[in-house]
Structure 1
Amino acid sequence: MGDTATMESGYVFDTSWEREHGRLLALEEIYDSQSRHRLTELGVADGWRCLEVGCGAGSIARWLAKQVGAAGRVLATDVDTSFANTHGLSNLEIRTHDLRADDLPDASFDLVHARAVIEHLPDRDEALRRLVAATRPGGWVIVEDFDIDGPTEPAAAGYYPGYTEPAERLGRALRAAFGAADVAPGTGRSLSQALTDAGLTEVGAQVHAPVRTGGDAVFLPLTLRSLRPRLLATGEVTDWDIEDVITLTKNHGTTYLPNFMVSAWGRKPV
C-alpha cells in the first residue's frame, strides 16, 4: 500500500493502471528523503530487524536493508508486490500480505514503518494495534500519512490567473472521492494521538510540505490522472478542471504544493 495497497476495498488507486509504477516512483522521489531522515533519527542501525508495511515500489525497504547490514533483516509486505524488487539484497524479503487479515510475527521487529497505508484501511485503530503488536518492547513504530484536509490544496501556490477556482474545486473533489472510498482525508493530523492511544511512548510528529517547481515532478499529474474517474464521479470538477491543474504543474517558473505528509512515531514500552 504505502505506496501501493495493503487492501483492495477502499484503496483509491488502481494497481493495474499502466502508469501506476511510475506514479509510485514519483511518490518515492518526493517523500523518501523525509522518510529516510526520520528513520535515521530513530537510530536504525546494523543488526536491526525491520518491517516495511505497504512497500510499494520498494525503495524504503531496500534502503533499510542496506542500513541494517548482513546481521539485520527487512521484511517488506504488500497486497500487491508486483512493483517491489529486492535488487539482490539477501537480507530483504518481500512477502504478499494483507494487514487486515494476515498474521505478523509477534514482538519481533526493532522498527515497523508504514507510509500511506493506514489512511486506506477501514479499521485504522486495529491496523495500528497490529503494527504495535509486531514491534518488540523498546522498538519504534513510524507511520506516515497524508493530510488531505490540511490547509493546502493541490497547486495551492503560484497560481496563474484563472487557476484558483479549478484548484479549489479539485480540492473538494479529492476529499469527496477519498471519503466515498472510506479513506480518512485527515488521517495525518490524527496520527500522534492514535499512536498514543495505541500505548506508545515518546510520541512525536512532523509535517512534510514539499514545494515543487512546475515541470520537475510527475507525482501530482499522474495521481490526478489515476483518480480521474473517481474525481469526475463526485460532480465537484470537470475534466477541464483536472487538465487545468495538471497544466499548472507543468509550467516552469510556477510552484505548487502537494498535500502534506505527516510522519508520526512512538516507542513500544519495555
Structure 2
Amino acid sequence: MTTMTVPERYGESVLSPNWHAELERLIAMAEVADRTTTRTLHELGLRPDWQCLEVGAGAGTVATWLAGQVPDGSVLATDIDTRWLEPAAAPNLRVSKHDIVLDPLPVSTFDLIHARFVLEHLPERDTVIAKLCRSLRPGGLLVIESIASFPIASCATPAFRDAMHAIESTLAATIGTDAAWPRAFPAPLQQHGLAQVSASVHIPATGGRNASARCWSHTLTQLRPRIAEHTPQALPAVDEALRLLDLPDFFDLAFATAICWGRNIKTQ
C-alpha cells in the first residue's frame, strides 16, 4: 500500500479551483486529452446501457460525452469540487460531491469506471484502486489515465525540461503526486485482480500556442509561487518556459498521458 505524509491535498491551494484561470486550464487540458479518452473508451466496447462512474470529473467534458453515449444507462460524475459540473445537463447524468479517498462507493454497481489525472495525485492510490475494483460489476471495466513524466528527460529544450521537472518535483513535495508511477502500467490493475489488462501512451506535441501549450502555461503560472518555495533555482527555467510557450514556433514534448485498463472477471 502506498503511504506518505504530504502537507496538503490536490485542490486545497495547489491546482486549486479558486485560482482565477483554473477553468481555462482544465478546458485546455480537456482539449488535449478528450479525443484520446473517447477513442479509448469506444475501442474498449462502450455500450449504450452501461452504468458509468466518472471520478474527478473536473470541467465535465468526459462526463457529458459519456452521458450521450449511454442513452439507456447512466453517468455519475464525482469530484471534491463540483462547481463546473453543476451546469451539465442530461437526463441520465448525475453530479455528486465526493472524495474518492474518504467517501464510500457502492459495491458491484458500475460497468465502467473512468478516472483521468486523479490517481497519480493521491498518495492513497492503491487503496483507491481497490475501492474502484470493488465497485465494478462482474465484467466491468476500469480505465485509468495519468500524467507520466518519463518523456521529459529527452526534452530538446533545456529550460522547458527543467520547468517540467520543477512541476513534477513541486507536486510531489506538496500533494504527493507520483508522475513516475504510471510507467508501471498496467501492473497496478493486475495487482488488484483485474484481467484482460493492457496500456497505451499518448504524447501530444506542446507548442504553437496549442491547447497543450496553454495548459502547461497555466500550470506553470499557477505553480510558480510554490516552485519558488521548493526549487527556487528552477525559476529562471520556468520564466523561460513561459516565454517559449507563448511563441508560435516553439514545440517540444512534455508529460505523456499513460492509460491502462482491465476488467473484473469475478462473478457475484
Q: Same fold (TM over 0.5)?
A: yes
**Residue 88 of structure 2: SS of its match in structure 1?**
coil
The equivalences for 1:176-255 within 5 A come to 176-181=169-174, 182-217=176-211, 218-255=214-251
Q: 2:95 maps to which residue?
A: 94
How far apart, in 2, do the equivalents of 1:153 and 1:29 lie? 25
How far apart, in 2, do the equivalents of 1:233 and 1:62 lie? 38
**Residue 212 of structure 1: SS of its match in structure 2?**
strand
Deviating beyond 4 angstroms after TM superposition, the runs of 4 or more aligned structure 1 residues are none
- CA offsets per residue over residues 165-204 of structure 1, 9 Å max, x none? x233323322321221211121221231110001000110
What is the deviation of 1:253? 2.0
Higher helix share: 2
Conservation of the 8 A alpha-carbon contact between 2:50 and 2:70:
yes
Q: 2:152 maps to which residue?
A: 152
What is the deviation of 1:153? 5.5
Paired amino acid for 1:256: D
Conservation of the 8 A alpha-carbon contact between 2:59 and 2:85:
yes
2:60 corresponds, among 58, 61, 67, to 58
Q: Share of identical aligned residues, percent?
A: 35
Conservation of the 8 A alpha-carbon contact between 2:164 and 2:254:
no
CA RMSD of aligned residues (A): 1.7
- CA offsets per residue over residues 129-151 of structure 1, 9 Å max, x none? 01111110101000011112x03
**Scaled by the length of structure 1, what TM-score is found?**
0.89
Deviates more, 1:50-59 or 1:78-87: 78-87
How far apart, in 1, do the equivalents of 2:76 and 2:88 lie? 14
Conservation of the 8 A alpha-carbon contact between 2:67 and 2:75:
yes
Paired amino acid for 2:95: I
What is the deviation of 1:221? 0.3
Query: Unpaired runs of 5+ in structure 2?
Result: 1-6
Q: 2:129 maps to which residue?
A: 128
**Residue 55 of structure 1: SS of its match in structure 2?**
coil
What number of residue pairs does the alignment pair up? Answer: 254
Q: 2:3 maps to which residue?
A: none
1:167 corresponds, among 145, 160, 179, to 160
Q: 1:139 maps to which residue?
A: 140
How far apart, in 2, do the equivalents of 1:191 and 1:9 lie? 26
What is the deviation of 1:240? 3.5
Query: Unpaired runs of 5+ in structure 1?
Result: 1-7
**Scaled by the length of structure 2, what TM-score is found?**
0.89
